[in-house]
C-alpha cells in the first residue's frame, strides 16, 4: 500500500519560529492512526524537526540528522547538507521516502532525498500533501496580519490545510522556538 504524506509547516515571524504537523497517518485510503507525533526536538530543544512521508524512513533520517548535528557541533546547516549528501549517495538511504523540515531560532531548512537543502526566502517552509494549502494560508496571514505571532500563523494555516487536504487532520502538534 502506498503511504500518503502529511502536512508540516514552519514559520519564522516577529522573532519567533513555530513548527507544526498534523497527526494523521494513512495507508492507502484508510486512516491508520490519528495522533502520530511528527515533531521532534533535538539538541535540548534548540532545534525542532518535522517529517512527512514514511514514518520508519523519517525516523531513520532523524537519527542520521541527529548524528550529523553531534558531529558538526550543532551546526544545523552543515548537518543538513551532510545528511542530504549521504541521503542522495548512500544505497540504503536513497530508498527512503520522507522529507524533513528542520528549524532553529535563526533559520528554517527543508531537506529532501534529492540532495536539496532549501532555505525559504519568505521564512515559510511546508512539506507533505497539504503543504501548498498550509503555505498559502501562512503567506496570506504573514503578509496581512503583521500583529500575529508565528505560532498563531502556523496554527491557523494548519487548520486551513486540514479543512481541505484529506491526508491532514486537526490533531496538530505545535512547537515554538523563541
| Angstrom distances, CA of residue 51 to CA of 19, 73, 140, 167 | 11, 22, 24, 14
**Catalytic-role residue among 3, 6, 26, 168:** 6
Sign of the CA dihedral 122, 107, 96, 54?
negative
Let me know if 6 is a catalytic residue: yes
Rounded distance between C-alpha atoms, residue 128 and residue 4, angstroms: 8
* Neighbouring C-beta atoms of residue 16, cutoff 10 Å: 17
Please list the active-site residues: 6
Amino acid at each position: 500500500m502506498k503511504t500518503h504524506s502529511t502536512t508540516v509547516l514552519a514559520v519564522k515571524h516577529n522573532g519567533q519560529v513555530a513548527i507544526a504537523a498534523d497527526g494523521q497517518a494513512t495507508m492507502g485510503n484508510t486512516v491508520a492512526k490519528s495522533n502520530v507525533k511528527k515533531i521532534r526536538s533535538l539538541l535540548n530543544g534548540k532545534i525542532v524537526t518535522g517529517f512527512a512521508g514514511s514514518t520508519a524512513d523519517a525516523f531513520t533520517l532523524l537519527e542520521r540528522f541527529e548524528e550529523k548535528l553531534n558531529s558538526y557541533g550543532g551546526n544545523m546547516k552543515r548537518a543538513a547538507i551532510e545528511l542530504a549528501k549521504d541521503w542522495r549517495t548512500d544505497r540504503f538511504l536513497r530508498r527512503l521516502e520522507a522529507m524533513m523540515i528542520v528549524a532553529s531560532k535563526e533559520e528554517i531548512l527543508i531537506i529532501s532525498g534529492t540532495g536539496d537543502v532549501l532555505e525559504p526566502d519568505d521564512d515559510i517552509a511546508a512539506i507533505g500533501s497539504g503543504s501548498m494549502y498550509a503555505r498559502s494560508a501562512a503567506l496570506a496571514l504573514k503578509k496581512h496580519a503583521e500583529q500575529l505571532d508565528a505560532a498563531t500563523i502556523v496554527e491557523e494555516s494548519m487548520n486551513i490545510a486540514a479543512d481541505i487536504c484529506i491526508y491532514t487532520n486537526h490533531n496538530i502538534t505545535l512547537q515554538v522556538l523563541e
